[in-house]
Amino acid sequence: MKRVITVTVINQSGVLNRVTGLLMKRQFNIESITVGHSEQTGMSKMTFIVHVEDEQKIEQLVKQLQKQIDVIKVNDITDKAIVMRELALVKVVSPPHARSEINSIIEPFRATVIDSGKNVVTYQVTGAPEKIEAFIDLVKPYGIKELSRTGATAFTREIQKVNTPQLSILK
């Protein structure tokens, strides 16, 4: 089972190495990792997607990460309402006669052309990792010349409970 773990850390040299080293020692396979500045100065947010067979191992991992000196906060957000996005750049073999066909196929993904050459078009697509996978599967038959993915980043949604009475509209 895939788990989404977010870790807020003090932004200093060696933190990423220590955190990934802990994951390596516990034999977690990191399927995706992103790191970037957070809303707090001097802090960074890491988002890991890891594959876990044993649910007890994830509890141990969270506890071990919380013990790290530079780690401020650890959350397993897998079972919460989350927003998750990834970016992919995909160079697709696209001779001029096939471009309109390819563009009609990728239109639902809202991919944008960011570069084009004589026989290659580079698309940028963002969304949930499943959306990126579906996009790649659709353009694969045309030939993917190059592919680069950022890895997923995520955080929990702001869930608002609004208890407003039902209003009826009179016509």
In a domain, 162, yes or no: no
Same domain, 76 and 146: no
Residue 142 above 60 pLDDT? yes
* 119: phi then psi, degrees, rounded to nearest 5: -130, 15
131 and 88 in a single domain? The answer is: yes
Question: For residue range 19-67, what is the model confidence (pLDDT) as tens digits?
Answer: 999 988 888 889 999 999 999 999 999 999 998 888 788 888 899 999 9
What is the per-residue DSSP string for 87-135? EEEEEEE--GGGHHHHHHHHGGGT-EEEEE-SSEEEEEEEE-HHHHHHH
* Dist. CA 70–CA 9, nearest whole Å: 6
Burial 110-130 (b: 16+ CB within 10 A, else e): ebeeeeeeeeebbbebbbebe
What's the CA gap between 153 and 87, in Å, rounded?
10
Of 43, 58, 80, the one marking the end of a domain is: 80
CATH number at residue 74: 3.30.70.260
**What is this structure's pTM?**
0.79
Which among 61, 80, 99 is the end of a domain?
80
Find, among 138, 148, 98, 104, the residue nearest to 120 by Cα. Answer: 98
| 64-122 confidence digits (pLDDT tens) | 999 999 999 999 999 899 999 999 999 999 999 999 999 999 999 999 999 999 999 99
28 within domain boundaries:
yes
